[in-house]
Homo-oligomer: A and B are copies of this chain.
């Protein structure tokens, strides 16, 4: 039996991670590169090809049977990225076609968060679950909904945009052009916006004040670890907004668990503890004390790489009908 390897690519708003995965779900080799800094998608793919070259050499490119890509607004049915507000390239990008031509590998595309959901279901915290919601808290907020053991793709492949449900009516302006989207509050970007807004209004003693204008989610995490009151309140507020939206999503799909992943989720119990509390406060009684809030069981970008790579084996090319 020849070794059946898959290439998994996680195309994020800021960084791209990629790895070559064997049939047992082990990532044999992996690397990362910035997503930003490429004027066109063609430039980006050219750089990706150069970065992949040493990985291909190490495992033998002839052993790779295909590529799976998780990308914001990636459409499983068409292989396109469709109007992704957090990427440098706009409009409709025929990603599967371009990557397939550049790498000479059969290529499947899906939403990055859906890819992560498949990764968690096959190898991570959702092993054995048939109904759960994957939430990625990075530059934006991505989501993958699993029901009856299957990804909810929707009729057009574009389901699972929890980040673009309205969390605050007439709230913050979103990159999508509307007001109050969840991802403008509950994401690494969102918590920083809240911090900057609050520093305009408040004059408490806080570590964050001296960093006004250059606050990051990481800095808020560090400040909270040192007991900074404003930083802790930022987690409390962010968790509350996220919990309110999750309570509504739970009323639709009644999942066994919510699995959190991504930059902001790395703050661990700083976010998870108030999130669990606010979620229980907001849930309809029939769902109370039934939905686990879990952290991804896969390291760093592994979930998305594994999930993207699993697309190669799990799903044949499928066109919208």
Contacts and interface: CB of A to CB of B under 8 A. Distances in A.
Contact of A148 (B130, B152, B290): B152
A319 interface: no
A251 B290 contact: no
A299 to B, nearest CB: 26
B248 A154 contact: no
A254 interface: yes
Given A82-B286, A177-B285, A252 B165 contact: yes
Interface stretch (A61-69, A117-125, A156-164, A203-211): A156-164
B251 A164 contact: yes
A284 B82 CA distance: 12
Contacts of A256: 155
B249 A252 contact: yes
A152 B252 contact: yes
A176 B53 CA distance: 58
Interface string A142-175: 0101011010111111111110111001000000
Most buried by B among A131, A254, A285: A254
A148 B77 CA distance: 13
A311 to B, nearest CB: 16
Interface string A178-195: 100000000000000000
A162 B290 contact: no
A307 interface: no
A255 B160 CA distance: 11
A247 B177 contact: no
A224 B89 CA distance: 48
24 contacts: A129-B155, A131-B155, A132-B155, A145-B252, A145-B253, A147-B148, A147-B154, A148-B148, A148-B153, A152-B252, A152-B253, A155-B255, A155-B256, A156-B290, A158-B254, A159-B252, A160-B252, A161-B284, A164-B284, A165-B248, A165-B252, A166-B248, A176-B284, A252-B252
